[in-house]
Amino acid sequence: MNNKELVFTAITDVFVNRDITAFDTYFSKNYIQHNPHLPNGTEVLKQFIPTLSITFSYEPGTVTENENIVMIHGRYKDWNGKNMIAVDIFRVENGKIAAHWDVMQEEITADKTANGNPMFPIN
């Protein structure tokens, strides 16, 4: 499995299938988190995933990779009551996700944007 497939499978298992065992399968034991609101490691994420609303869903969009860096442009529906568009950035080492960064913003529908373009998916 290449890095792009690894990350796509891991994120799908975590956010679509809500399978917390995916953290043990796909994430490094020394997982580094660069989101300032989350600690390093996967324990807090293992506790968080089961608390997601029943109406929560994740929709992956464009996935790109550059050597050991993989980025996914995705939509988080009902993320704390809002639809959010994010780019999640992952560093892969030794076949495991070793680090994560993200950039997230609330989704604005195309009819309410200055340019009339949707934020997701990329056309």
Tell me what pLDDT residue 28 has.
98
pLDDT, average across residues 112-122: 90
- Taking the chain, what is the end-to-end CA distance rounded to the nearest angstrom? 27
Amino acid identity, residue 2? N
Q: Which domains does the chain have, with CATH numbers?
A: 3-112 (3.10.450.50)
Q: Which helix (H) or strand (E) holds 84?
A: strand 82-93
Q: Is the pLDDT of residue 29 over 70?
A: yes
Report yes or no: 86 and 104 within 8 Å, Cβ to Cβ. yes
Tell me what pLDDT residue 1 has.
85
Tell me what pLDDT residue 31 has.
98
Tell me what pLDDT residue 63 has.
95
pLDDT per position as a tens digit, 91-103: 999 999 999 999 9
pLDDT per position as a tens digit, 33-91: 999 999 999 999 999 999 999 999 999 999 999 999 999 999 999 998 999 999 999 99
pLDDT, average across residues 24-38: 96
Q: Is the pLDDT of residue 122 over 70?
A: no
